[in-house]
Amino acid sequence: MVKVVKFGGSSLADAKQFKKVAEIIKADPDRRYIVPSAPGKRHDDDTKVTDMLIELYEIASKGKNLDKKLNEIKARYCAIIEGLGIKDFDIDKEMKEIKAELEYNPTCDFAASRGEYINGLIMANYLGYEFVDPKDIIFFNEEHGLNSYKTEKRVRERLKDVEYAVIPGFFGSSKEGEIMTFSRGGSDITGSIIAGAVKADVYENWTDVSGFLAADPRIIENPVGIDMITYRELRELSYMGASVLHEDAIFPVRSVGIPINIRNTNKPEDEGTWIVESTGHKPEYVITGIAGKQGFCAVSITKALMNSEIGFGRKVLQAFEENDISFEHMPSGIDTMTVVVHADEFIEKEQQVVSAIHRLSEPDAVEIETDLALIAVVGRGMKSTRGTAGRIFAALSHAHVNVRMIDQGSSELNIIIGVENADFEKAIKSIYDIFVTTKL
What is the rounded distance in angstroms from the CA atom of residue 82 to the CA atom of residue 86? 6
Q: Which residue's C-beta sits nearest to ligand ASP?
A: 187
Residue 397 per-residue DSSP state: H
Q: Where are the beta strands (DSSP E) in 247-315?
A: 260-264, 273-276, 289-302
Cβ partners under 8 Å of residue 305, min gap 6: 335
Q: How far is the CB of 283 from ligand ASP (least distance, A)?
A: 30
Closest approach, Cβ 28 to ligand ASP, in A, equals 22
Reported as type and span, the H/E element at residue 95 is: helix 91-104
Q: How far is the CB of 184 from ligand ASP (least distance, A)?
A: 4
In whole angstroms, how close is the CB of 6 to ligand ASP at the nearest point? 8
50 near ligand ASP (CB under 6 A): yes
Q: Provide, rounded to whole angstroms, the least separation between the CB of residue 50 and ligand ASP.
A: 4
Helix (H, G, I), strand (E, B) or coil at 42: coil
Look at phi and psi of residue 222 and say left if phi exceeds 0, alpha if psi is from -120 to 50, else beta: left
> Which amino acid is residue 301, in one-letter code?
I
Q: CA-to-CA distance for 407 and 233, rounded, in angstroms?
A: 16
Footprint (CB under 6 A) of ligand ASP, residues 93-152: 115
Taking CB under 6 A as the rule, does residue 39 contact ligand ASP?
A: no
184 near ligand ASP (CB under 6 A)? yes
Residue 244 in the binding site for ligand ASP (CB under 6 A): no
Residue 37 interacts with ligand ASP (CB under 6 A): yes or no: yes
Q: Is 273 in the site for ligand ASP (CB under 6 A)?
A: no
CA atoms within 13 A on the CB side of 248: 12
Among 106, 134, 186, 381, which residue interacts with ligand ASP (rule: CB under 6 A)? 186
238 by DSSP, 3-state: which? helix
Using an 8 Å Cβ cutoff, are 231 and 248 in contact?
no
Using the rule CB under 6 A, is 36 a contact of ligand ASP?
no
Which residue in the set 17, 187, 210, 230 belongs to the binding site for ligand ASP (CB under 6 A)? Answer: 187
Least Cβ distance, residue 80 to ligand ASP (angstroms) = 15
CA–CA separation, 388 vs 394, rounded Å? 10
Q: Which of 4, 5, 35, 38 binds ligand ASP (CB under 6 A)?
A: 38
Total residues binding ligand ASP (CB under 6 A): 13
Q: Given candidates 120, 168, 172, 185, which one binds ligand ASP under the rule CB under 6 A?
A: 185
- Using alpha carbons, select from 226, 214, 244, 245 the residue that is nearest to residue 376: 214
Question: Regarding beta strands 365-378 and 179-181, do their DSSP bridges make them parallel or antiparallel, or are they unpaired?
Answer: unpaired
Select 262 or 373, whichever has its Cβ closest to ligand ASP: 262
Which stretch of DSSP H or E encloses residue 414?
strand 414-420
Q: Which span sits near ligand ASP by CB under 6 A: 97-105, 183-191, 262-270, 271-279?
A: 183-191
Please tell me whether residue 48 binds ligand ASP under the rule CB under 6 A.
yes
Nearest distance from C-beta of residue 9 to ligand ASP, angstroms: 5
Q: Does 292 bind ligand ASP (CB under 6 A)?
A: no
Output DSSP code: residue 285: B
Question: If 0-12 CB within 10 Å is exposed, 13-18 middle and 19+ buried, where does residue 150 land?
Answer: middle
Q: Please, what is the minimum distance in Å from the beta carbon of residue 182 to ligand ASP?
A: 7
Q: Give every CB contact of residue 414 below 8 A, 6+ residues apart in sequence.
A: 233, 236, 376, 377, 378, 379, 382, 408
β 171-173/179-181 pair status: antiparallel
Q: Which part of the chain contacts ligand ASP (CB under 6 A), choosing from 127-135, 186-194, 205-213, 292-300?
A: 186-194
Residue 169 touches ligand ASP, criterion: CB under 6 A: yes
Using the rule CB under 6 A, is 238 a contact of ligand ASP?
no
432 near ligand ASP, rule: CB under 6 A: no
Query: What is the radius of gyration, based on Cα positions, of the chain?
Result: 25
Choose the stretch contacting ligand ASP; rule: CB under 6 A; options: 56-64, 180-188, 252-260, 309-317: 180-188
- Residues making contact with ligand ASP (CB under 6 A): 9, 37-38, 48, 50, 115, 169-170, 184-188
